[in-house]
């Protein structure tokens, strides 16, 4: 564990606290919004707008972080915005204010993502990227276990008292903000560039980026286009006969497997190569969606959620570690932010496509299409040439 530096520990704890706060509200968010007068359509618009803001801002603030040669302020501001948005959703119940608070939360994510991942990359070597990003994902995802568990426990004793839960979520949010004060700006050889950054200027990076970066990101985004929201898997579990509480339990189980396996997956990835580990993750994903299309057996579905947790651990942090290895150090935040921005937009499209296929042809067809598309991505990455460029490596 000697390669897990103090900075990595701090960032991991910050993510754990923040995810605990966010995931505490995840199961109750739709119910709470409906209780204060939001329609299903309005909820959909709210979530779509919030994710669009987060997606577009990731690239912009990643570029800004690289040009200013600073990381910590973006991390601190980003986590602060996310923390203060939690109680705002309980204090202000009018639709316009709810839109503002929810967008502020996602905007905070957009501000911090590129800079935070660039710090993690700087704390690692080419041979420890998988470990560092895997450890961070493990700690982050533990929050997705603690948060829903606390929400279930709280609602057991105080059913329908959703508003108080938003105030409680402010506590781990504040702990995250306080923890960011222990981050120190690392002395860097990167030079500040005094140049105005327009909101869409990060798109220019796509033209300037290494060829291998574009090839990898094209494959990642094609996969994202068919990787719809986890809600569809939970709906399938519900159709198979699970109660609402059991569905939340399955979601917690998935995150627990994810949290426990992300760090080991990172260790293995450093040994066999990041690309190989990512492909293994995609194989698990394809199996899960194919199995969901065929099965209605509760025990098989539980087993598939176990595999789904392993898939997440083999791809989420690994993809960012991979990107940081194939791009120049001075562009790390821009490269990851640009990918994350496109990924957010493609994720929205993926859920729309999945919902449309589900509505027109049924749930099973939706899962089969996703599994087939993933198989194409697997083949694409298997045959993707391993190119080593100056200052970077594809493995």
Token pair in block for residue 147: 């948060």
**DSSP assignment, residue 185?**
P
**DSSP assignment, residue 227?**
-
Task: Name which residue leads in pLDDT, 369 or 199.
Answer: 369
Domain locations along the chain: 6-180+203-382
Contact by Cβ (8 Å): 114, 340: yes
Query: Of the spans 29-38, 195-204, 214-223, 341-350, which averages the highest pLDDT?
Result: 214-223
pLDDT tops 80 at residue 388: no
Confidence of residue 393 (pLDDT cuts 50, 70, 90): very low
What would the pLDDT profile of 57-116 be if each residue is shown by its tens digit? 888 888 888 888 889 999 999 999 999 999 998 888 777 788 888 888 888 988 998 899
The per-residue pLDDT for 43 is 66
Separation of alpha carbons 377 and 226, rounded Å? 10
* Spatial CB neighbours of 72, under 8 Å, sequence gap ≥ 6: 115, 119, 180, 183, 184, 185
The per-residue pLDDT for 386 is 55
pLDDT tops 50 at residue 390: no
What would the pLDDT profile of 304-341 be if each residue is shown by its tens digit? 999 999 999 999 889 999 998 988 888 888 898 889 88
Separation of alpha carbons 113 and 383, rounded Å? 30
- The percent of residues in the chain predicted with pLDDT above 90, rounded, is 43
Secondary structure of residue 100 in the 3-state scheme = helix
Counting every residue written for the chain, the total comes to 395
The per-residue pLDDT for 291 is 92
Contact by Cβ (8 Å): 72, 184: yes
What would the pLDDT profile of 165-196 be if each residue is shown by its tens digit? 999 999 999 999 999 999 998 776 655 556 66
Question: Which among 49, 44, 98, 108 has a CA at the least distance from the CA of 74?
Answer: 108
The per-residue pLDDT for 167 is 93
Task: Name which residue leads in pLDDT, 58 or 379.
Answer: 379
pLDDT tops 50 at residue 374: yes
Query: Which of 138-147, 209-218, 350-359 is the least confident region?
Result: 350-359
Contact by Cβ (8 Å): 154, 168: yes
What would the pLDDT profile of 232-285 be if each residue is shown by its tens digit? 888 788 777 777 777 778 888 999 999 999 999 999 999 999 999 999 999 999
Report, as an integer, the average pLDDT of 209-226: 93
pLDDT tops 70 at residue 389: no
Report, as an integer, the average pLDDT of 369-373: 94
Q: What pTM value is reported for the model?
A: 0.84
pLDDT tops 50 at residue 135: yes
The per-residue pLDDT for 387 is 53
CATH architecture of 6-180+203-382: Up-down Bundle (1.20)
């Amino acid at each position: 564990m000697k390669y897990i530096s103090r900075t990595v520990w701090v960032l991991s704890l910050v993510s754990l606290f923040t995810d605990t706060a966010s995931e505490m509200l995840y199961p109750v968010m739709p119910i709470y919004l409906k209780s204060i007068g939001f329609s299903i359509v309005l909820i959909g618009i709210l979530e779509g707008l919030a994710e669009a803001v987060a997606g577009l801002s990731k690239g912009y603030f990643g570029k800004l972080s690289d040009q200013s040669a600073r990381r910590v302020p973006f991390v601190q501001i980003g986590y602060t915005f996310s923390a203060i948005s939690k109680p705002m959703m309980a204090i202000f119940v009018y639709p316009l204010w709810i839109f503002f608070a929810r967008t502020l939360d996602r905007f905070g994510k957009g501000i911090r993502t590129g800079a935070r991942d660039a710090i993690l990359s700087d704390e690692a070597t080419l041979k420890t990227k998988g470990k560092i990003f895997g450890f961070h994902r493990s700690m982050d995802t533990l929050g997705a276990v603690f948060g829903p568990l606390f929400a279930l426990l709280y609602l057991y004793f105080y059913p329908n008292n959703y508003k108080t839960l938003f105030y409680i979520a402010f506590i781990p949010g504040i702990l995250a903000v306080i923890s960011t004060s222990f981050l120190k700006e690392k002395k860097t050889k990167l030079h500040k560039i005094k140049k105005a950054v327009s909101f869409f200027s990060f798109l220019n990076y796509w033209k300037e980026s290494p060829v291998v970066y574009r090839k990898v990101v094209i494959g990642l985004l094609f996969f994202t286009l068919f990787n719809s929201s986890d809600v569809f898997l939970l709906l399938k579990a519900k159709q198979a006969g699970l109660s609402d509480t059991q569905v939340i339990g399955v979601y917690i189980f998935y995150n627990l497997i994810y949290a426990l396996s992300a760090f080991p997956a990172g260790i293995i990835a450093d040994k066999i190569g990041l690309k190989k580990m990512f492909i293994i993750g995609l194989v698990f994903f394809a199996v899960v969606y194919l199995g969901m299309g065929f099965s209605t057996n509760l025990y098989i579905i539980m087993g598939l959620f176990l595999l789904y947790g392993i898939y997440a651990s083999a791809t989420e942090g690994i993809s960012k570690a991979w990107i940081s290895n194939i791009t120049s150090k001075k562009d790390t935040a821009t490269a990851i932010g640009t990918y994350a921005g496109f990924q957010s937009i493609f994720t929205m499209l993926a859920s729309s496509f999945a919902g449309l296929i589900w509505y027109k042809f049924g749930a099973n067809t939706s899962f089969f299409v996703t599994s087939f598309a993933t198989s194409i991505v697997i083949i694409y990455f298997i045959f993707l040439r391993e190119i080593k460029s100056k200052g970077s490596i594809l493995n």
